[in-house]
Amino acid sequence: MRIVAHIALAATLVAVDGSNQTAKKPDVIREKHMFATNEFFSKGGLGIINPNLYIVVKSAKNGLRIGKSESWFGLDASKPEVIIVFDGKVWESGRLPEDFDLSKAIIVSFEGDKIRFFEFQHSSGGYYRRIPI
C-alpha cells in the first residue's frame, strides 16, 4: 500500500512540475512576439505612446505630436521611415546627440498600414493601424 501511495505522489509531482513547464512555454513565446502582435487602438486620429508623445495615425505624412503643442511630420505616409525620439526631440539615426542613451529613447517605425513603436524605458511597445485619409 505504501509503495502505491509513493508512486501516486511521485506521479502527481511529475505531473504538476510538467504542467508548470508547459504553462511557461507559451508565455515565453508570447513575450518574444508581443511587440509584433500587440495592437493598440487610436482615438481621434492619435495613438498614445506616453502622455507626452502621440502617433498621428490619420495623416498624409508620417507624424508625431510631442508634448501639448509641438508636431513633427516626416515623409509621405506611403513611404517607410524610422525615427528615434530622445530628450523630447525627433532624431534621425545618423544624427544622434552625443549624450544619446538608448534606454531613454523611443523608436517609431512607420510601415505602410502600421506604425510600430518601442519605448525602451518602460519595455513597452506595439503598433497602431494607420487610418486612411
| 17-21, 41-45, 73-77, 80-84: range with lowest mean pLDDT | 17-21
Gap between the Cα atoms of 86 and 96, Å rounded: 9
The per-residue pLDDT for 92 is 84
Give me the phi and psi of 95, to 5 degrees please.
Answer: -130, 50
Cell numbers for 5, please give them. Answer: 501511495
Indicate the pLDDT class of residue 27, thresholds 50, 70 and 90.
low
User: Taking Cα atoms as reference points, which of 96, 92, 52 lies closest to residue 70?
Assistant: 52
Give me the mean pLDDT over the 86-95 stretch.
90
More confident residue, 7 or 45: 45
Over residues 54-78, the mean pLDDT reads 95
What is the structure's pLDDT at 6?
38
Is pLDDT of 85 > 80? yes
Output the pTM of the full model. 0.73
- Cell numbers placing 20: 508548470
Alpha carbon of 107 to those of 8, 17, 92: distances in Å? 53, 39, 10
Whether the CB-CB separation of 75 and 62 falls below 8 Å is answered with yes
State the pLDDT at residue 133: 85
